Structure 1
Amino acid sequence: MATKANYFIGLMSGTSADGIDAALVDFSADNHSDRQHQCKLVHSLFIPFDAETRREITSLYQPNSDEIQRSQTLDKKLATLYADAVHQLLEVSGVAKKDIVAIGNHGQTIRHFPPERERKLPYTLQIGCNQTLAVLTGIEVIGQFRVKDIALGGQGAPLAPAFHQFLLGEQTPSVVLNLGGIANITYLTKDRVMGFDTGPANGLMDAWFAKHHSHGNYDCDGKWASSGSVITPLLDTLCAEPYFQGPPPKSTGREVFHLDWLSGFVNLGQYAPADIQATLLALTARTITDAINSLPSVDAIWLCGGGRHNSFLIETLCKMMPAKRIANIDQLGIDGDALEAMAFAYLAFAYKNNFCSNIPAVTGAKKSTTLGVLFLP
């Protein structure tokens, strides 16, 4: 007898604030094959944010006026957009709402201040109201995944390494490199899992590009960056940022790495904008390379996230790490654009099955625990 499908939906909108990734994942036993813990991506989609929603999100990355009103209004607006994404995903996949066990909703991070910044009361804040989402979809929602890990003294991030271990446990020793607004890595060996944010990836480059271009939100294929020249003194100054020198566990976000952070180092007007872009790309490549080179015996680096489509960035990484295999994770039969959304489907699956879903060695939490909070329709 065939095993009944075990459907979960994962929703993710990252610090790039480009849009919503949604993934419908089947965790039924029939999907287990040679891979120890395989799950099946049934369907995925990406829904871009319009310019106004993107502006509303990014305006909340740093302190400003009327934050409570603006954040709570956006909290509900994002919930309606997430609900629309769920409805579209169900329509295109042909799966009925009643067959979805739960939605795992990461939400939109607008602030992330973990313990290492010497705060007595660290916190993390994701918006996109889970209760509203549950009501609008009629499906149970698991959300607020980061909060308990923070309460246990952890970073609350990154959370994807638990899913990477579940999915890729036999692909060791290797690194999963996610190139989102912030870059983060998962280091997998047979007896060890590590993970941490290396620093900025697309976020700073996108912000600088948007500042100087009236059309488009990002530097397609890194063409603008490739037209410039790296400003070595500026790059060295940026790399001296204390975050890069600190040991893991560690995590960061756009509330730290933004254009005001950049302009705090130097008068940017003295340089050609394309040279600044080239330097920001070099900053991403160097900090990722330094992080990976600090790890022993990395055989392969598997790329996921939107930044893996930046061909000039990947070319630069390959030049800086010529002895390592660098390839899209799609070569393993895994959709690299959907992987992060799949991770939050997995965290909902783990919640419903009472699995521990954080990794203390990654986040620094005092103990393993099941992450998430349940919201009923």
Structure 2
Amino acid sequence: MGSELFIGLMSGTSLDGVDALLARFPAGDTGMHVLGHLHRPFCPSLREELLALNSPGDNELHRAALAGNAVARDYADLVSQLLELCGVKAGEVAALGAHGQTVRHRPGEFDGCGYSIQLLNGALLAEQSGIAVVCDLRSRDVAAGGQGAPLVPAFHRAQFAQPGRDIAVVNIGGISNISLLSGAGGTLGFDCGPGNCLMDAWAKQHLGHEFDAGGAWAAEGQVLPGLLEQMLGEPFFGLTPPRSTGRDLFNRAWLDRCLDAGMQAVDVQASLLELSVQAIVQSLGHHDPQTRELLVCGGGALNTQLMRRLQACLPGIQVMPTDARGLPVMQVEAAAFAWLAMRHLRRLPGNLAGATGALGPRLLGALYPA
């Protein structure tokens, strides 16, 4: 029997850094036991370069290749620290599932297939970590006609679903994605819209901070109804799932087109927070009004004002962090990519066609042996 230990590595749209998680998945896919977790921010220069590569620029191929190498080195260094923390040797780990850093996400566009690009040198990560690497986890789903996102609903079902009870799980990272777990066994998942990405960019410009801690600044402002209405008028919000999005759409240029002269910066921040809230509220109302429990994970779960507004707008639903169901909010996505690595090595599909729109279940990822 092979090792039951797997590592998940996740760096999301928010660009806040890398999460690494070591977990045991007993044979038979009967559960998950977390052994350790670490988070480390990107160094400012790499974060700025990754952010810049979300938009067209000079010498992109060269810069993207070097950024992919840098991401691999960051991942490998954090894996080494995680193994030391847990007292585990690299040779004891079956594989690590590595997301890479998304810089473009355009599934189904241009030629009927499109693409989703995550920067990561998987071969370099395998060399430096001494562990088999499963990466490029979105491409096969895109090739099968899917969005390649979100990939987490299958894991959310395995981790949080309860028979006879409709449960929703929303990850609020740079973009928010939701998994609707029917008590009857069905699963629907899709991107809601911007989570933290626009709020973070606005806070960076006006506060000089990477994010609005706890939503305290947003709480001081007043929502601008006209601005909120204009932003919610974006056609993306009217798309029927499967749907996914990213910084390709929700970026500063998009926000700037919505703004008028004379708007107070703090009121814009309050309106951006309300946009993130309403994108989730509308997703629930349109697609699973029977849900009575909303589990929240990702950095947005640490935004006190956002969580307060979610609960106020969903009075019939219990809104709580995933900690209440056994998995801390900042561990869920890394755990999902450990789970996807496990599924790959055990030759099991990792996607849900009902979430991504793919033609059917697919084995996800490319393998770089140790």
**Separation (CA, whole Å) in 2 of partners of 1:50 and 1:213:** 20
The answer to whether residue 195 in structure 2 is matched with residue 197 in structure 1 is no
Corresponding residue number in structure 2 for 1:266: 259
**Separation (CA, whole Å) in 1 of partners of 2:229 and 2:144:** 36
In the alignment, residue 208 of structure 1 is paired with which amino acid?
A: W
Asked if the contact 1:161–1:195 (Cα under 8 Å) also holds between the matched residues in 2, the reply is yes
Corresponding residue number in structure 1 for 2:353: 360
SS of equivalent to 2:185:
coil
SS of equivalent to 1:270:
coil
In the alignment, residue 30 of structure 2 is paired with which amino acid?
A: H
Corresponding residue number in structure 2 for 1:289: 281
Asked if the contact 1:5–1:28 (Cα under 8 Å) also holds between the matched residues in 2, the reply is no
TM-score of the aligned structures, taking structure 2 as reference length: 0.96
Q: 1:331 offset after TM fit, Å? A: 0.8
**Cα deviations by residue, 1:31-88 (Å, 9 ceiling, x for unpaired):** x9xxx93210110010111221211111111212221121111010110000001100
Which blocks of at least 5 consecutive residues in structure 2 are unaligned? none
Asked if the contact 2:68–2:119 (Cα under 8 Å) also holds between the matched residues in 1, the reply is yes
SS of equivalent to 2:99:
strand
Corresponding residue number in structure 2 for 1:280: 272
* Superposed structure 1 runs of 4+ greater than 6 Å apart: none
The answer to whether residue 123 in structure 2 is matched with residue 131 in structure 1 is yes
Task: Map 1:1-377; keep pairs closer than 5 Å.
Answer: 6-29=4-27, 37-115=30-108, 120-170=112-162, 172-189=165-182, 190-214=184-208, 216-267=209-260, 269-294=261-286, 295-377=288-370
SS of equivalent to 2:100:
strand
Q: 1:4 offset after TM fit, Å? A: 8.2
Q: 1:121 offset after TM fit, Å? A: 3.8
In the alignment, residue 229 of structure 1 is paired with which amino acid?
A: Q
Percent same amino acid among aligned pairs? 38
Asked if the contact 2:113–2:142 (Cα under 8 Å) also holds between the matched residues in 1, the reply is no
Q: 1:249 offset after TM fit, Å? A: 0.2
**Separation (CA, whole Å) in 2 of partners of 1:170 and 1:359:** 18
Q: 1:18 offset after TM fit, Å? A: 0.6
SS of equivalent to 2:39:
strand
Aligned length: 367
**Cα deviations by residue, 1:170-205 (Å, 9 ceiling, x for unpaired):** 263100110100000000012200100000010110
**Cα deviations by residue, 1:332-351 (Å, 9 ceiling, x for unpaired):** 11122111001000001000
Asked if the contact 1:155–1:365 (Cα under 8 Å) also holds between the matched residues in 2, the reply is yes
TM-score of the aligned structures, taking structure 1 as reference length: 0.94
SS of equivalent to 1:276:
helix
**Separation (CA, whole Å) in 1 of partners of 2:249 and 2:100:** 19
**Separation (CA, whole Å) in 2 of partners of 1:86 and 1:243:** 37
In the alignment, residue 199 of structure 1 is paired with which amino acid?
A: G
SS of equivalent to 2:14:
coil
**Separation (CA, whole Å) in 2 of partners of 1:69 and 1:242:** 34
SS of equivalent to 2:126:
helix
In the alignment, residue 272 of structure 2 is paired with which amino acid?
A: L
In the alignment, residue 22 of structure 1 is paired with which amino acid?
A: A
SS of equivalent to 2:116:
strand
**Cα deviations by residue, 1:257-315 (Å, 9 ceiling, x for unpaired):** 01100112233x42111111011001101111000111131020001101100000010
The CA RMSD measured in Å over matched residues stands at 1.5
Alignment CA distance shift 1:271-1:124 (3 Å): same
